[in-house]
Amino acid sequence: MTSAERSAPPRVADERTMLETWLDFHRATLALKCEGLDDKALREASAPPSELTLLGLVRHMAEVERNWFRRVLEGEKVEPIWYSREDPEGEFHFADGNTAEECFAIWREEIAKARTAAEGRSLEDVVPGPGGHDYNLRWIYVHMIEEYARHNGHADLVRERIDGATGD
């Protein structure tokens, strides 16, 4: 996912197209917020006392993509990438030594796998999920849009504190 892939969702479209293009818009927005920064800046917690970083947000969204599309929608038995019982916010910590480039590659891979998981499924497809609740693909799309939109707001603030960059 790169900012070059970011385009405004259509104003008139069927529901599936609307949901998918809004999700892609928000994925590309996170990439845009990170664009042009080096590894050090991407790891900078620039809004104390918060430990939130742009790279932490990318890693978090890789975990979220993996959880909702692979674990829940596909029912795949796949381990978390960075999260663990010992470090439930592991995606926001960098003890693993992954470079920013590696983290972005993992995020892009999870996005590609999410698209594959959703391909050919109906928005009405119901799957069992966390807490013993059922979810349909529509709910997953809406939740993912909400998750990205919320964290893109965080990314706006973190990026502005790093170098003053603001904007879409």
Tens digits of per-residue pLDDT, 115-125? 999 999 999 99
Domain boundaries, the chain: 3-163
List of the chain residues with pLDDT < 50: none
The whole model's pTM is what?
0.94
User: Is the domain defined by 3-163 classed in CATH 3.90.79.10?
Assistant: no
DSSP, residue by residue, 75-122: ------SS--SS-TTGGG--TT---HHHHHHHHHHHHHHHHHHHTT--
φ, ψ of residue 135 in degrees (nearest 5)? -135, 150
Find the angle CA(19)-CA(2)-CA(16) to the nearest 5 degrees: 10
CA distance linking residue 90 with residue 59, whole number of Å: 9
Closest C-alpha among 148, 107, 151 to residue 23: 148
pLDDT digits (tens, 9 = 90+) for 34-53: 999 999 999 999 988 999 99
